[in-house]
Amino acid sequence: MIREAKATRDYDRKRHRYDGWLHGVSLCAVMLGVFFLLVLFLIIVKVSLPGLTQSYFVLSVDFSEEWIERGDIASGRYRKVLKSGFSELLEGRGSEVRVRDFGKVLSSRSSHILREMVVSDPALVGRRVEVRLPLSDIWDQVNKGLLSWESLKVHRGVGESLQLLFLELKDDGLVEEHWNVGVLFRGDSRFPEVAGLYGAIVGSFYAMLVCFLVSFPLAIATVLYTEELVPRGRFRDIIDVNINNLASVPSVVFGLLGLAFFIGSLGFPRSSPFVGGLVLGLMSLPTMVIAAREAVRRVPVSLREAALSVGATRQQSVFHHVLPSAMPGILTGTIIALARALGEAAPLLLIGMNAFVSSDPGGVMDPATALPTQILIWSDSPERGFVARAGIAIVVLIGFLLLMNGLSIYVRSRWSSYDRYG
Amino acid sequence: MGLVVWLSYYLGRLMRVGGTFRGGYYLGLLGVTFCVPVLVAVLLWRWDVSIFLLKFLGDGEVLLPGVNEDILEIWLYSKVIAGSGVGMLPGVDEVMLADLESRLLGLYGLVSVVGGVLLVVLGFCGVLGGMRRLYLGKEALVLSEGLVLKLLRCGSVVAIATSFLIVFSLVFESWKFFRYVSLGDFFLGLHWEPQLLFESEGEVEKEVFGILPVLWGTLAIAMIAMMIAIPIGLLSAIYLNGYAGVRVRSWVKPILELLAGIPTIVYGFVAVLVVAPFFHRWGEQLGFSSEPNNALAAGVVMGMMIVPFVSSFADDALNEVSLSVKYASYALGATRGETMMRVMLPAAFPGIASGVLLAASRAIGETMIVVMAAGLVAKFSWSPFDGLTTITVQIVALLVGDTSFDGPKTLSAFALGLTLFFLTLILNVLAFWIMKRYREPLV
């Protein structure tokens, strides 16, 4: 009797130990998932931190009329302006560094920056001004302490005197570090110190616009037709099967469709946000249809019947009552589908939205990049500064996604009055 | 546009025969009858109309001596019609080019004006048709509802058309590819090295298009991903369903779903920047021949991405099991662990299995992570530290930056795409079949 009780107790202990073990292991799995997310965010923050600031050099330059004609400002000799600024600085310090070597400290776009400055403010001609010019990528890294002097000497052949001069200039406060606001407002460039996301943001916006204009009406048409107006029959079954299958087609296949059909057969321009939006629109159509279908199904039957009983036609009941009631749900699903489309890169890659485009797109037919493809371009670039900027681009992208998700939550809570029926 | 709206409203009112006047329907009816033909015509408009115009201008002769016709077409198209200035054409008589440009511009203007007028005429033909129906005594309400129904039907056909277009364009381009390379060589070939192929040399080497090593890489990386995702995802679902309280659940579930909401390019970025070098060093320390872009990194990061899919599918499946089953098990004295493993999991198995299949299909079709972190060279290798390649990587590598459509190299991407499409389709159909076949409601 006692032995039996002991056996039972042992068995029970074993059972409960197993229960505790499963509890612990499954908790660990959840923790691991949360840990993944945390690590992901930490890595992105760590990578993008250096890109938050950009080092500038304060240089005094003379926009002398000798080099810039007042009548023809745009074609002035700004390289000369820059060089004379350099040599004045070097002579003033009595340094033996050559002008050419010092020129590499600053961005190679410096003379263009000077030109833009004067073109936007012609009154500068003939005056001596202190300008802030961005440091070139390598020296930006050095200034932030991310690149050692040794590697600079070994790999770039930078001499002792230039190092001393740079440190001296830094001590004198001529090297400044500012928030890198320009990364949001400039177009792409071959040089990280002046490269920006603006073109990609505009390109993504256009693509999203086209995507919305394509998929939203189509999703509503599909749902209203199959759920409300002709809610039975083979046509609806075919659509249902189709939507389910389309929802799980890999996104890269949609890119192939865009390349073969929209660009190959219809002759739409390559790399344009228009084609990108079309492809993303077809891609997010099933997601939207599924969300809209749920929303429409949640609208109570009593609402439809009430409309019909006072003499409304089927369509009147749908358009005046069912659709407005389902709208919050449809919009929520739409925003989430758009957010997914915004982060999608694979189809855009195939239709050429990863080309180098330095000018901002003026319309949906112009070549452009999008945020995710810009991230790919930058993270593939050899310059170190681009990696940090890719991190910034990721932060911007995730920011937009969070914004959209917040918006969808807001829409749901603000207008969900009809959800109380369901 | 406003004019059209006002006109259709007014004309509709004129045409009405008896019945109450409901302005909106007249407006809607005639507006739709105007817009639909116009929209259809605009959609059918060829954007590269300039190329036809050029053919018309040239009339069979050589337009400019010494210039490739294709290049000239593209140049003139972007200059005249797209309106974006591109660089100069080298070695061209500038006067003749300017002349050609102005002629093309004139012709394009003419075509645009005529096209615009035709569009308006077409629209009004539609309006006239609508008015005739009204005049014949139909109610505007009935007519416009009929039209709206047709429009909605057209809209919902797009979903079918998309599937059809995908299959059609993939099959069509693949068919062109299989004129160069036989089916057997493609599906049974053991070498995938299209980069060895130089199209100019005429003779196509057929041995470079064997899909098996690419398929091997795809499956290996997906397998690594699933080996990460299935245990973590399943155990997370078990925790959420069996052990977590309501509060913990309401916190943890959204966090896990956040993982699913992060764009795959971000995963790819992390994979190539941090995870791949980490595994590379690790592999070298263990004495493997390791590559910087290794399959392990791509697989592990992809596994992280797939975790929330598996966990939410499994969680849904577990939640669908009736609570009475769960409570019955508790009432018999079973612990939570026993209830989970012996009752809940078997009951939810079909749902979980189909979720796992769907997750696997996502792993196979995943692109950005592998494009960034996996290798480019297709080989049979058992070592996870080697850089394996996948179907999606090869599609992207073959098509990015290549503009010609007709070489076997670019066409092979479509054959790969077709394979990928059917691979994922089979998994999806299987998943839905399991759901349908084995999901019996336990009450």
Q: What is the pLDDT of residues B207-219, one digit of tens each?
A: 678 889 999 999 9
Q: Are B165 and A259 an interchain contact pair (Cβ–Cβ within 8 Å)? A: no
Write down the pLDDT at residue B3.
66
Q: Measured between alpha carbons, how far is B248 from A28 in angstroms, rounded to an integer?
A: 14
3-class SS at B384? coil
**CATH 1.10.3720.10 residue spans of chain A:** 198-421
Burial of A232 from C-beta contacts in 10 A (0-12 / 13-18 / 19+): exposed
Phi, psi at residue A95, to the nearest 5°?
Answer: -90, 150
Write down the pLDDT at residue B443.
45
Please compute the mean of the pLDDT values over residues B137-148 and round it to a whole number: 74
Same domain, yes or no, for B239 and B362? yes
Q: Are A260 and B239 an interchain contact pair (Cβ–Cβ within 8 Å)? A: no
Mean pLDDT of chain A: 87
pLDDT digits (tens, 9 = 90+) for A366-379: 888 999 999 999 98
Interface test with A, best of B45, B156, B250 (most A CBs within 10 A): B156
A192 touches A383 (CB < 8 A): yes
List CB contacts (< 8 A) between A264 and chain B: 169, 405
Domain span at residue B359 reads 206-438
Which parts of A263-400 are beta strand (E)? Answer: none
Q: Which residues does residue A175 pair with via DSSP β-bridges, in sequence order?
A: A57
Write down the pLDDT at residue B81.
54
Write down the pLDDT at residue B440.
61
Please compute the mean of the pLDDT values over residues B156-166 and round it to a whole number: 90
Higher pLDDT: B397 or B115? It is B397
Domain end: B113, B131, B154, which one? B154
Q: How confident is the model at residue A208 (pLDDT cuts 50, 70, 90)?
A: very high
- What are the helix and strand counts (H, E) for chain A? 18, 3
pLDDT at A405 over 70: yes
Residue B226 domain-assigned (yes or no): yes
DSSP state of B344: I
Please compute the mean of the pLDDT values over residues B154-166 and round it to a whole number: 90
Residue B22 domain-assigned (yes or no): yes
Closest CA to A252 of B258, B2, B412, B362: B362
Write down the pLDDT at residue B55.
60
Residue B183 domain-assigned (yes or no): no
Q: How confident is the model at residue B5 (pLDDT cuts 50, 70, 90)?
A: low
Same domain, yes or no, for B280 and B422? yes
Q: Are A239 and B159 an interchain contact pair (Cβ–Cβ within 8 Å)? A: yes
Give me the residue from B159, B239, B424 closest to A26, CB to CB.
Answer: B239
Higher pLDDT: B13 or B321? It is B321
Handedness of CA B431, B435, B436, B438 (dihedral sign): positive
Same domain, yes or no, for B95 and B212? no
Same domain, yes or no, for B290 and B419? yes
Q: What is the distance of C-alpha A78 from the center of its chain?
A: 34
Same domain, yes or no, for B25 and B111? yes
Q: How far apart are the first and last CA of chain A?
A: 58
Q: Measured between alpha carbons, how far is A148 from B151 in angstroms, rounded to an integer?
A: 66
Same domain, yes or no, for B126 and B226? no
Count how many Cα atoms sit within 13 Å of the Cα of residue A76 in the half-sphere of its side chain: 30
Q: What distance in Å separates residue B263's CA from the closest CA in chain A? A: 5
Beta-carbon contacts below 8 Å between A and B: 266
Q: How confident is the model at residue B292 (pLDDT cuts 50, 70, 90)?
A: confident
Phi, psi at residue B251, to the nearest 5°?
Answer: -90, -45
Looking at the structure, give the CATH architecture of the domain made up of residues A198-421: Orthogonal Bundle (1.10)
Residue B50 domain-assigned (yes or no): yes
pLDDT at A403 over 50: yes
Write down the pLDDT at residue B18.
47
Write the Ramachandran bin of B137: left for phi over 0, alpha for psi from -120 to 50, otherwise beta: left
Higher pLDDT: B402 or A119? It is A119
3-class SS at A131? strand
Residue B185 domain-assigned (yes or no): no
- Closest residue in A to B339 (Cα) is A19
Same domain, yes or no, for B139 and B272? no
Count how many Cα atoms sit within 13 Å of the Cα of residue B146 in the half-sphere of its side chain: 11
If you search the block for the tokens 């102005």, which residue do you land on?
A: B102
Same domain, yes or no, for B270 and B348? yes
Q: Are A218 and B158 an interchain contact pair (Cβ–Cβ within 8 Å)? A: yes
pLDDT digits (tens, 9 = 90+) for A349-399: 998 888 888 888 887 888 889 999 999 999 888 888 899 999 999 999 999
Give me the residue from B160, B243, B396 closest to A238, CB to CB.
Answer: B160
If you search the block for the tokens 């069509």, which residue do you land on?
A: B172
Count the residues in chain B: 443
Residue B270 domain-assigned (yes or no): yes
Show the tokens assigned to A383.
């310059």
Give me the residue from B148, B232, B340 closest to A33, CB to CB.
Answer: B232
pLDDT at B376 over 90: no
Same domain, yes or no, for B69 and B214? no
List CB contacts (< 8 A) between A365 and chain B: 82
Q: Are A44 and B400 an interchain contact pair (Cβ–Cβ within 8 Å)? A: no
pLDDT at A347 over 80: yes
List CB contacts (< 8 A) between B368 and chain A: 345-346, 372, 376
Q: Are B155 and A217 an interchain contact pair (Cβ–Cβ within 8 Å)? A: yes
List CB contacts (< 8 A) between B425 and chain A: 245, 249
Residue B180 domain-assigned (yes or no): no
CA dihedral A242, A247, A249, A255 (to 10 degrees): 110
Q: What distance in Å separates residue B301's CA from the closest CA in chain A? A: 9
Closest CA to A261 of B155, B165, B395, B411: B165
Q: How far apart are the first and last CA of chain B?
A: 60
Write down the pLDDT at residue B301.
94
Q: Give the range among A46-55, A172-181, B67-76 with minimum mean pLDDT.
A: B67-76
Q: What is the total count of domains within chain B?
A: 2
Q: Measured between alpha carbons, how far is A165 from A398 in angstroms, rounded to an integer?
A: 41
Show the tokens assigned to B427.
């998994």
Interface test with B, best of A11, A13, A19 (most B CBs within 10 A): A19
Residue B327 domain-assigned (yes or no): yes
Write down the pLDDT at residue B176.
87
pLDDT at B200 over 50: no
